[in-house]
Amino acid sequence: MGRSWIGAALGAALVLSLPAAATAGAGGDACAPLRAACRGAGFAPAGEDGGAGLVPACVRGLVQNKRVDAASLRPLPAVEEGARAACRAAETAGGPLRLAAAAARPPAAPDPALAAAARARGAPNFVVVLADDLSWNLMPGEGPPAGVLPHLERLMAEGMTFRRFFATNSLCCPSRASILTGRLPHNTGVFTNTAPAGGNAGFVAGGNAEATLAVALGAAGYRTALMGKYLNGYAPARDPIPPGWSDWAVGANAHGAFGEVLNHNGALVRVPGYLTDGLAALAVALVGEAAAGPGPFLLLLAPFDPHAPFVVADRYRDLFPDLPYPRPPAFGARPDAAAPAWMDAAAPLGPRDGERADLFYRERVLATKAVDDLLGAVRAALASAGLADTTYVLFLSDNGLHLGEYSLRQGKMTPFDIDARVPLVVAGPGVAAGTRSEALATTVDLFPTLAALAGLALPESLDGASLVPLLDGAPPPAGWRRQVAIEHRAHGPRADDPDLGPPDGPRAVMPSGYLALRLATALYVEYETGERAFYDLDRDPDALVNVAAALSPARARALAEAAAAVRRCRGADCRAAQALDPLAVP
């Protein structure tokens, strides 16, 4: 299989060894004009107490297209675009490191005979756009101005939007592990972003790398490509390309967005410019090449946007300067008398917290706009290649993000909808256009859904269910799930976590470990502390009042039994456990 498309897609991209991580404020003389502008605007050099903030933070903000410094909420100075570009280029330069032998091994191409057989039986193509931390309030109609996300609006008009789609864990790596394997976190063993209980190392140690959607589709003749973000802790220069993938263009913690480095099929490549745009170029080129190939393909596009630090493409830097954060009733709400103890650690929001929520939301909308561009570019490439009618396009996110709900500063990991409820839009052959499904669905359903559409027998190890019976607009079949599971293991934040929050004031509050059952009209949570929470979402849609103490003994017992069944389930037992309806007990 040829790999010549990488050069054409990236143009001036340089095949090189991995550079050392750049630090804001580095870049030598190239960043001097930005440092001078920051000092002139009142930002103090590192180690000085005066001024409104640190020069390195100011320089970092200018390089990442910020308008305001997040810590001080002071406007950043205006600088010439050439000075910004020069500093950015200097920051992304670095000395070479050698590729490890394992990382340099290219992936295997699909078997030509299997690929031809798959195409002969009419196996469809799949394009999956997996955004990073894209919460529901970033979706069309939920906060962004109309027309800001035209390609996502079009996908929703041409496909089905799942309104009750939930992450199995509202944290990046555990959620992605479930998406890739179709297994709940207690069956992947991945609960955090770092080893031993998570990260890429934890994923591999648990035997998950051999049980992914890519392995299943690759064995059936599919060309399988992953571009962008994989699992936290994956190192492009060190770690091998996982089994099952025939095309690989994956970075590490590439949230800086400009000049990032990917392992592309065993070679390190620097992507010039804004990473999401580079991924779009790679995806368009792969679609064109795959159209002439012998079989179908899976393209999993995983941009790092709109994850913190919410970096914006140059072309969108000045849009919507006063866009406010949507403020539901939960925004700034204080814990009720029966709230779990971990929520009491959240200090009341102040005016600066509201200003930060507005600032971050604007940047998140603009970062999402680049993801929307990526979606549009790939769909246009499918149409140009004559593949639009034989390709399913799916758009989803790994988890949401709160920016003040329940008085919680920037973070995720809670069982509440702002974190756990994520978008899923599906368009393709036979999908009812312009429809919305209220059926309960979850991220472990992606694997069985694509496998069913590809005509594969579903592995017994899958905890999820195929969504195919719902895609034509039919009501959920008999025995469909009545609740979805959300699992979390408590852990503290790392100093290098982009979600740690601003250096001044209260930081993110970390929830206790829990198992939650999200039902159509309720949320039930069992915390590892022994605390219980129940929110009646019919009467209290924002989950503000814990009424667990008012449950009848019979209903409390039914909920506990349903949670116990989920906690120990595996494979088909998980589908049976989540079909239980504990609310049927009065």
CA distance 298 to 454: 10
Q: Are 97 and 18 in contact (CB under 8 A)?
A: yes
- DSSP string covering 283-328, please? HHHHHHHHHTSSS-EEEEEE--TTSTT----GGGTTS-TTPPPP--
Strand partners, 225: 247, 299
What ranges in 385-512 are assigned the alpha helix state H?
417-420, 446-453
Pick the CATH number of 109-471 from 3.40.50.720, 3.40.50.1820, 3.90.1150.10, 3.40.720.10: 3.40.720.10
Strand partners, 396: 130, 424
Q: Are 436 and 206 in contact (CB under 8 A)?
A: no
pTM reported for the whole predicted model: 0.94
* pLDDT (0 to 100) of residue 15: 40
Nearest of 379, 105, 418 to residue 263 by alpha carbon = 105
* pLDDT (0 to 100) of residue 491: 81
Q: Tell me the pLDDT tens digit for each residue of 495-538.
A: 555 555 555 555 668 899 999 999 999 999 999 999 999 999 99
CA distances from 502 to 21, 409, 498 (A): 21, 10, 10
Give the total residue count for the chain. Answer: 586
* pLDDT (0 to 100) of residue 95: 66
* pLDDT (0 to 100) of residue 25: 40
Half-sphere exposure for 278 (CA within 13 Å, toward CB):
30
Q: Return the domain boundaries, the chain.
A: 29-91, 109-471
Q: Tell me the pLDDT tens digit for each residue of 410-421.
A: 999 999 999 999
Q: Are 175 and 169 in contact (CB under 8 A)?
A: yes
Q: Are 131 and 372 in contact (CB under 8 A)?
A: no
Residues 6+ apart with CB under 8 A from 491: 191, 192, 197, 510
CA distance 238 to 409: 35
Residue ranges of the chain with per-residue pLDDT less than 50:
1-2, 4-5, 12-26
CA distances from 206 to 191, 201, 203 (A): 12, 9, 5
Q: Tell me the pLDDT tens digit for each residue of 92-137.
A: 876 677 899 999 999 999 999 999 999 999 999 999 999 999 999 9
- DSSP count for the chain of H helices, then E strands: 17, 16
Check whether the bond before 306 is cis (ω within 30° of 0).
yes
**What stretch of H or E contains 551?**
none
CA distances from 187 to 28, 419, 571 (A): 48, 21, 9
Our measurement of the distance from residue 433's CA atom to the centroid of its chain's CA atoms, rounded to an integer in Å, reads: 25
